[in-house]
Chains A and B, each alone.
Chain A
Amino acid sequence: MSQSREGWVIKVPLLEVHNLVKYFPLRKGLLGRIVGYVKAVDGVSFSISENETFSLVGESGSGKTTIARCVLGLLKPTSGRIVFMGKDIFKLSKEEIRWYRRNVQAVFQNPFLSLNPRMKVEDIVAEPLKVHYKDMSKEEIRRRVYDLLEKVGLTADLAKRSPYDLSGGQAQRVAIARAVILKPKLIVLDEPTSALDVSVQAQILNLLVDLKNELKLSYLMISHDLSVVRYISDWVAVMYLGKIVELAPAEELFEKPLHPYTQALLSSVPEPDPRAMRAKKRIVLRGEPPSAVNPPAGCRLHPRCPYASEECKKEEPKLVEYERGHWVACHLYTHK
């Protein structure tokens, strides 16, 4: 679904994900017999336009990180297609794969795990240039690295240090610099601020917003933190057990959540305002998410949903456009 609006501007999708399915086999015994599948992602479609932030939110096991890994080409989907600038990313030639990797970069949750402790900061940030532009001069590489370090808010004296000598916020800035040095079109952000203190998180989020505007980047953001998602996103898709249950422009989703799961998630987020917390009407889901090996029949939320009816136990609701640009998969909205 591309967001075509009336008027002249029709945004071209940068990344399209069509009916993505990823099952992980469950093996047992000496011979590794397949006894079942973890249905991590079960038919997900969405698209991201240029200079847009698209967020996937959901709890552990919802499949959001699996989607990110498929988009990065780290996992091969069971079925479905991922199309980047018109090309299916799993049918690329060797040369095109290099092109894809230049244009799609990633920033992960823990910078101390994603940065090599034996390398200096300047070498970490320079490495993508050395790999992708073999004939670039040393001076040019150095100039680009130091310009970028300054842009992401790191002083030149940090360039000679190891990432282990940095604070969490500084290390995440290095990871971001490494991701943008090739001037990519899309960056996958997998929980980029979850490991940081709030005051540092605010700085990193602001940096990501600035870089997006300046370099015309698109982000695929993976997060469980709805407050962070509201701050940074243009579009939000809410996932539950491998499916998108609701998809809408960020403001619309937070102001008018339709799906009971989205409503429950939003009503559970604690906010630093005790009066608002007491006034909040909480929608409580019973129990815990079931296993993705045998997801419930019908609507996957029905055993926990306060509004579940007979229909929800039998028939799986389709993701339909309830209002312009606002998609929801719930029987409460299928008979309007």
Chain B
Amino acid sequence: MQAKPLVVRDLTIHYYTLHGVVKAVRGVSFAVGRGESLCLVGESGSGKSTIGLAVLGALPSNARVVSGKILINGVNILELSEKELEEIRGKEISMIFQDPVASFNPLFTIGQVLSDIIKYKLGVRDKNEAKKLALKALSEVGLPDPERIYNSYPHELSGGMLQRAAIAVALATRPSILVADEPTTMLDVTLQAQILDLLQGLRRKLGLALLFITHNLGVVAAICDKVLVIYAGSVVEYGPVDEVLLSPLHPYTKRLIECVPRSSVKTSRLKYIPGSLPDLRKDYPGCIFAPRCSEALEKCSRIAPKFVEAKPGHFVACHKAVKAG
């Protein structure tokens, strides 16, 4: 069996700030296979974006990977030099972000950006050949009139079109992994639906391993096969999307789903999670969600729950859920 394109093992990341060491990611493990999409879902401060950046070897300078491994097609990128990383970035792994306007340099046309990448990453020296590949990349993401888009500056395109262009840039070099950090959060719902459809189609067509980062559980249901729920830097639940969203095991996942108002049914009163995120500078001997958990047992704040397979393929880190199952 071929190894999965992206494997993350026991990743721990700390930020060094003026106010102390923030333990943002606390031993996270997951893997994404070819043609598979995994969602990292969590609220602000869960560490989901930090994980996304770490996977590209693009953490800010005050962040440090304290322990763990990130294997991209079998190579641990944490052991690579910046120059070796350059080789992998773009070619084997690409990323798209929330704000497509900020992903582009306003002084270059979409065509210039695309041709540069094709020239340097794929080594295509011939100008006409590079342009042909660039136009192909633009039409692949469903942009009408690729020739016009090729010659456009970012400000001439709308948000939806620019996000498509960003996807074209990310996939022009045929990476095996795409990291998408909230790529539809700034788009209107009808455009969001279009972009999700596009990513879904490209994932199948190109056999991409898609790591999708979002806070929106609706988007999770629309695009993912597997879901990883993170709270305060720790994985609380992992499993197939139907399992996690329809029969969640962890109290945090359950409460989070209950918070979401729906357009398809009338909700009489919304539930919420009392309390707020714990101080991430501290260590917690027990379950990090215990202080806010309505189902907490006596031992929850003392002993950290193990991450175990409660049902086939469905993992959870919770004393209560495991005991009940």
Say whether B270 contacts A205, CB under 8 Å. Answer: yes
What per-residue 1/0 map shows which CB atoms of A140-168 lie under 8 Å from chain B?
00000000000000000000000000011
> In chain B between 220 and 234, which residues have their CB closer than 8 angstroms to a CB of chain A?
220-222
Number of chain B residues whose Cβ lies closer than 8 Å to a Cβ of chain A: 44
> Given that A198-B215, A274-B241, A284-B193 are known contacts, is A266 also in contact with B222, CB under 8 Å in the complex?
no
6 further A-B pairs in the complex, CB-CB below 8 A; given A268-B190, A274-B221: A202-B259, A206-B269, A227-B260, A268-B193, A274-B222, A275-B242
B positions within 8 Å CB-CB of A: 43-44, 144, 158-161, 188-194, 196, 215-222, 241-242, 245-246, 255-257, 259-264, 266-267, 269-273, 276
Q: A45 CB to closest chain B CB, in angstroms?
A: 24
Pairwise interchain contact B242-A270, C-beta atoms closer than 8 A: no
Which of B44, B218, B261, B276 is the most central at the interface, judged by chain A CB atoms within 10 Å of its CB?
Answer: B261
Q: Which residues of A contact B259 (CB under 8 A)?
A: 198-199, 201-202
Cβ of A292 within 8 Å of any chain B Cβ, yes or no, is no
* A60 CB–B CB distance under 8 Å: yes
Taking each of A167, A266, A277, which has the highest tally of chain B beta carbons within 10 Å of its own beta carbon?
A277
CA distance A226 to B250 in the complex (A): 28
Chain A contacts for B218, CB-based, 8 A:
227, 269-272, 277
List residues of A whose CB falls within 8 A of some B CB.
59-60, 167-169, 197-203, 205-206, 224, 226-231, 251, 254, 264-266, 268-277, 282, 284-285, 287-288
A-B contact pairs, 13 of them (CB 8 A): A198-B256, A198-B259, A198-B260, A226-B189, A227-B218, A230-B263, A254-B264, A264-B190, A271-B221, A272-B221, A272-B245, A274-B241, A285-B190
| B271 and A202 form a contact (CB under 8 A) | yes
Q: Give Cα A294–Cα B44 distance, bound, in whole angstroms.
A: 40
A227–B242 contact, CB under 8 A? Answer: no
**Distance A29 CA – B260 CA, assembled complex (angstroms):** 49
Establish whether residues B190 and A230, one from each chain, have CB atoms under 8 Å apart when the complex forms: no
B155 → chain A closest CB, angstroms: 14
Count how many pairs of residues, one from A and one from B, have CB atoms less than 8 Å apart in the complex. 118
Q: How far is the CA of A200 from the CA of B246 in the complex (A)?
A: 22
State in angstroms the CA–CA spacing of A264 and B188 once bound together.
Answer: 12
* Distance, CA A228 to CA B216, complexed state (A): 13
The one of A228, A274, A287 in contact with B245, judged by C-beta atoms closer than 8 angstroms, is A274
B263 and A227 form a contact (CB under 8 A): yes
Cβ of A266: which chain B residues have Cβ within 8 Å of it? 263
Q: Measured between alpha carbons, how far is A264 from B194 in the docked complex, in Å?
A: 12
- Interchain CA distance A101-B193 in the complex, whole Å: 40
Residues of chain A with a CB closer than 8 A to B188's CB: 59-60, 224
Q: Known: A277-B222, A288-B160. Is A282-B193 also a contact (CB below 8 A)?
A: yes
- 10 tightest CB-CB pairs across the interface, nearest first? A270-B218, A272-B217, A59-B188, A202-B272, A202-B270, A268-B193, A197-B43, A231-B261, A199-B273, A274-B221
A287: shortest Cβ distance to chain B, in Å? 8
Q: Which residues of B contact A268 (CB under 8 A)?
A: 189-190, 192-193
Complex interface: chain B residues within 8 A of A270 (CB): 192-193, 196, 216, 218-219, 221-222
User: How far is A32 from B189 in the complex, measured between Cα atoms in Å?
Assistant: 36
Contacts of A199 in B (CB 8 A): 43, 255-256, 259, 272-273
Is the pair A230, B262 in contact by a Cβ cutoff of 8 Å?
A: yes
A264 to B260, alpha carbons, bound, how many Å? 21
Contact partners of B257 in chain A: CB under 8 A: 272
Most buried by B among A203, A228, A230, A270: A270
With A and B bound together, what is the CA distance between A202 and B271 in angstroms? 7
Query: A198, A205, A206, A288: which has the most chain B beta carbons within 10 Å?
Result: A198
**Chain B residues closer than 8 Å to A197, beta-carbon distance:** 43-44, 215
Contacts of B269 in A (CB 8 A): 206
A205, B263: Cβ atoms closer than 8 Å = no
Cβ of A182 to closest chain B Cβ, rounded Å: 27
Q: Select one of A59, A202, A271, A285 contacting B264, CB under 8 A.
A: A271
Report how far A167 CA is from B221 CA in the complex, Å: 28
Chain A residue contacts of B273, Cβ below 8 A: 199
